[in-house]
Structure 1
């Protein structure tokens, strides 16, 4: 969990596990190139070359597939650590890990999927996703394009309006209608490797923040084997894996961005206090508020991860309305708290935070964190879960019986 990151690092060292050191190596590279990634709105190639070299892209996979049998809490540690120095690297890692989890958990008994998973793990593939199509906005539970099955193979022609880091990925998972005769909501998830598809760019990515995610639009043409379509309905994949893992890792990423901003605010406050022989600067109260908000955010993410890991042992409990509602509200709450945290840090640093250069600049973290409320718009989520909240009611007590 995020709050236990330091003690976990100590335990790893005592146990001879180099997990934390490997994360640190990737973070150092990400930090070195973060400004260049932001300025050029380019994929953080150097950071992901190091993540691959440290074999951190397949940690969720079982060891027999070239992975490490690690869980979502450990993937969240990577997101949090990267987020402190390079928001784009953290967000890409979060989306990649969620895609790996979907393929791994829902591969079923397909004879070919062990081979696909082994390729992903052994080659440390970076997996992108296409769940947004045409003009349907963020309605990921509806697909226009359909899987076409013929002669033992499948094909897909899709207006993939947003594919983050698609041009740099080694494979793509994409939603689609099950068949040309299926309803838009009758969806499947298909896995295509780079040699299976072509991408023709249809839109560019020129935005305020998260510039390195390169969330461009493409015309996706893919052909593959029938086995590359996951056997389980996307409805179940969406409820049990895509939403839980995505929202948890996004929240960990945003917590990391907020932590990086808070660290700058604390350092600025210390520097001014020393220069003024112990007198605190005017922005000191904002630094305190930033620290408190960060603790609240980390506790929220920790408790949500713990809830997910407990339920993952009994997958049917992942379908409960209360859990699905909590996941959607986690996305809203984590993004709002993260934005508030970074704003407090910005105000603590004052003009030094407003500058785009200097060690106390909060410009990049602020621009990046503002994306959190519009990545699946918070208002859309709140509207969608309104009925669930009414059904759920209000708890009778804040203390659970033992």
Structure 2
């Protein structure tokens, strides 16, 4: 009999309530040591194989021939048969060769000129956000700082008003914390699609110097994005671009609050910012888990799996794997090397927005460490109730401004 992940680790990794108290690192540590490929049963749902070891997750990520994103989707919940057609339409749940072609088309929107210009604007927006926070002295950090920057950056990306970016951001919170077919989730999706359709029509008739226009007019082998493909990519961009960066900035700030020695170290040597951001990515792992489905009989970590069986890749566990990280439970902003899997394990579905997330995080942390002497919690930290996203819902803080030399 295969090892039972729940019995062995002592935590139900498919229950969102498990994550309300924090990431179950003790369970992950036990599973990595005893059974990095362990069977995880579910009540009234298909079970899956929980992958908690770095090597196993890395191998599956890079083998899209054996491991499909499209067969049953990338989330722990398998879509109903009547919804499965959507898996062939979403970039996140699409297999090669269609995924490869669509990714090439979408990447035409992320030209060096667009990204470079966005980098300068990101610094300006980060400064304005911190200006506002410091003026008030206290704030709800997740919404007013961590969530504000990615929503503004996405608005810049798409060439839409900044206030629209904030409104769309609130919809992602609904979409990522509600169960499938929940009325609020469905309503949020419909609002997203309606906005995307109106945006596409406007950018086709009134092109701008923005990524939305570039996406709509880009061609690969004589092919352009269809209206449906644009709408679905818009949905992915708002969700992935907003939620993950918000989680990174919020949890990264909490890590600095909880490790004041690392805060002082970064403030004293801002040249550590690139390695600090990488360590925050490893430490926070903004996405908890994605799934894949075996297209044929295969082996993972010495365990024989059959065609059609599913695996779930738990990135926070991989990013604490003792085989790849010295003293993995230590937060070290100078850690090198740091081959974390926060953006996935490479391969077909490596995060398209990885470089942009790094730019955003560096911009906001540069403002925080140079303009504040300390950030302190003034209320409880509330986590997101989600299996998918490793995030913080609420984190009230108080700022102590840096002393400016006379």
**Structure 1 length as normaliser, TM-score?**
0.24
Larger relative helix fraction? 1
**Structure 2 length as normaliser, TM-score?**
0.23
Greater RCO, CA 8 A, separation 6+? 2
